Structure 1
C-alpha cells in the first residue's frame, strides 16, 4: 500500500493508522491488505467507518442501551449513598469511586461513539479521537486500580484485622485521590508523544495504538501492561485467594461459637467480600476479550486474522462493563437493598433491625448501635421518673436501679474497626469444650 502524500510503501497488515506529516492528522488504514467494507478514507467531517451501515446501527443501538442502563444504575447508586452518607464506610467509598467512573465513562464518551455509529463515520476528527481515547483509557484505569485497592482493603479487614484501623474514611479518601492521580498519569502520555490514540479498525471510535512498533510506542505499551494490568490483577488474585483461605479457616470457629455478634460479623464480611469478588469478576470478564486482542497485537504484532466485525465485538462488549456493578450491588449487598427500599418509599435514614437480626453491612451494624443508644436513653429517663415519684411520695427508700445499657453511639465514629473486632477472637473455653 502506498502513501498518496509522499509515495512511501506502508505495510497495511502491521499498521492501523498512518500519520500524515504534512497535515499532522491521523488517517485510518485498513487492518488487512483488502479493504473489507470498501470505504476507509477520511471524509470531510471525520473518518469513514469500515463496517457496514447495518453493523454501525446495531453497534450504536447497543451502546445507547448500555449508556441508558449505566447512567440510571450508577446514578441511582450514587444518589442512594448520598441520601445515607452518614453511614458510608470505606467499602462504600470505594464502591462509590467505581460508580463515579462508570457514570462518567458513558456520559463523556459514549455519546461521541453513538452519534458516529449512526452517521457511519467518526464525526469529531483527530482532536475528538484523542479526547475519546484519553477519556476511555483514564476512566477504565480508575476502575481497574480501584478494584485492586478494594481487594487489598478486604484482605486487611479479613486476614489482618489488627491493621483494620488504618482502613478508615480518611485514609480511603486519600487512596481515592491517589487512584485518580495514578490513572491520570498513565492516560496522559499518549497525548504528549509517548504512544498515541488512534482510530480502531472499525473507524468509529478510538483507542491506544497497540501495534505501534517504534520505541516510544512499545515501551509505553509494555509499561502499561505491567503497572495498569499485571500488578493490579496480581494484587486482586493474591488478596482474594488469601481471603478465601482465611474465611474457610474461620468457618469452623463460627460453627462452634454461640456468640451471635461473632456469627453476624463473619457473615457480613463474607457478603462484602462476595460483592467485591463479583464486581471484579464482571469487570475482568468484560475486558478479557479486548485484552486478549491487545496482547496479541503487542506480543505477535499486527492484527489477528479475523474480520473487522470480529475485532470490533470485544471492544463493544467491554463497554458494557459499566452496567454490571449496580446490579451486583443490589443482588449481594443487603444493606444497600434496605436503603434502596427506603429511598423509593420516601424514607431517609438507615435500615431497621428486623426479627432480632442485624442487617448485613455497616449500615445495619450502625443501626443496631442506634437502637441500643435509644434503649439506653429510655432507661435513664425511666430512672429519673422513678426518682421523681419516690420523692413525691416522701419516701427515703432508694429506688433500685439496674445497670444502664452500654451506649453504642460511638459506633458511628469507629464503625470501620467494629466490623472485624470479634473475628480474630478465639471461642470461649466453654464453647470449645462443647
Structure 2
C-alpha cells in the first residue's frame, strides 16, 4: 500500500499491495497488541477493585466502571477488529466490514457518555447537595448507564443503516474507503464528540471556580467553627476529586482529537494525502487512551491504589484501611 491515504482515490489500494500493507504495519500491530493487553488487564483491575472494596462502590465509580467496561471491549474486541481492517479483512463483505468498523465508534461514544455522566454527577453533588442523594441513587445510576450504552450502540450503527461509501473494487475493508467522512466529521465528531466535550469542560470550569471561591470565603472568615472547618475540608476533597476526574477527560481529549482532526482534513481536502505513519500514530494514540485510566486512578486515588495492591497480594481490602477522603466517591451515594 502507498505510504499515504487519499480519501478521493479508493483504487489506491490494489489487491497486489496486500502483502506490503502487512509488512509495513508490523510495528503498528505490535503496538496495538501491547495496548490491548494493558487496556484489558488494567480495566479489569478497576472493575475488580470496585467489586471487592465497599468504599469504592459509589455512583461516581459506577460510571467509571462503565468507562472501564468500554475500555476492556476496546482491548478485547475493537483493537483486534482494527488490526484486521488494517490489512483489509474482511474482503468482499461490506456489512461485516461496516460492523467491525462501527465497534470502535460505539465504544468511543460510550466512553464519552460515561465521562459526561461523571461530570453531571459531580455538578449535582456540588451545586445540589441536598437533592443529590435522592437523584443519584445506584438504581438511577444504573438506568443512566443503560441509556448511555443504548445511545452509543445506535450512534455506532448509523453507517450500517446506509451512511457509508461505496467500497473499492478490490473489496478490501479499509476505514477511510468505506466509512463516509461526512458521517465521521459532521455527525460523529461535531455532534456526538465535540459538543459533549465542550459541555464537560464548561461543567468542570464552573466546578473549579465555585469550589475555589467557597474555600477562599471560608478561609477568610476569622472565627472558624467546627462545622465550617468540616465544610472547608469537604470542599477541598471535592476539588481533589474533580481534578482527578478532569484529568481523565483531558487525557481522553488529547488522545482522540488528533484522529478527528485528520478525519476533518480528509473530508475538507479530499485530494490531499495523509502520511500513513501519521494516521497510524493517531489511531494508536486514540486506542492508548483505553489503557491509561487505570494508571491515572492508581496515581491519583488512594482507594484505588490500595485496592490494586490488595488484588496483587491476593487479599481483600479491609474497610478500615481506607479513610475514604480522596477517591471519586466523595459525597456520593453508596450501595
Specify if TM > 0.5: yes
Residues 317 and 225 (structure 1 numbering): CA distance in 2 closer, same or farther, change over 3 Å? closer
Unaligned stretches of 5+ in structure 2? none
The 5 A counterparts of 1:23-422 are 29-30=11-12, 40-42=13-15, 48=18, 51=21, 53=23, 55-84=24-53, 87-114=56-83, 121-125=87-91, 126=93, 127-165=95-133, 166-195=135-164, 206=175, 218=182, 221-255=185-219, 256=221, 257=224, 259=226, 261-298=230-267, 300-302=268-270, 304-352=272-320, 359-361=325-327, 416=332
**Shift in Å at residue 221 of structure 1?**
4.7
Contact 1:296 1:303 in 2 (8 A): no
Residues 353 and 102 (structure 1 numbering): CA distance in 2 closer, same or farther, change over 3 Å? closer
Residues 268 and 177 (structure 1 numbering): CA distance in 2 closer, same or farther, change over 3 Å? same
Residues 81 and 208 (structure 1 numbering): CA distance in 2 closer, same or farther, change over 3 Å? farther
Secondary structure of 2:25's counterpart equals helix
Unaligned stretches of 5+ in structure 1? 1-11, 18-28, 31-39, 213-217, 366-414, 419-434
Contact 2:43 2:294 in 1 (8 A): yes
Q: Greater helix percent: which structure? A: 2
**Shift in Å at residue 306 of structure 1?**
3.6
Alignment RMSD: 3.1
Residues 236 and 350 (structure 1 numbering): CA distance in 2 closer, same or farther, change over 3 Å? farther
Distance 2:264 2:15 in 1: 28
**Shift in Å at residue 92 of structure 1?**
0.4
Contact 2:259 2:286 in 1 (8 A): yes
**Shift in Å at residue 208 of structure 1?**
8.2
For CA contacts below 8 A with separation 6 or more, give which structure has more relative contact order: 2
Is residue 15 from structure 1 mapped to residue 8 from structure 2 by the alignment? yes
CA deviations on 1:299-320 (whole Å, 9 max, x unpaired) are x241644422223321222111
**Shift in Å at residue 71 of structure 1?**
1.1
Number of residue pairs aligned between Structure 1 and Structure 2: 319
**Shift in Å at residue 179 of structure 1?**
0.3
The normalised TM-score by structure 1 is 0.65
Secondary structure of 1:122's counterpart equals coil
Distance 1:111 1:311 in 2: 17
Larger Rg: 1
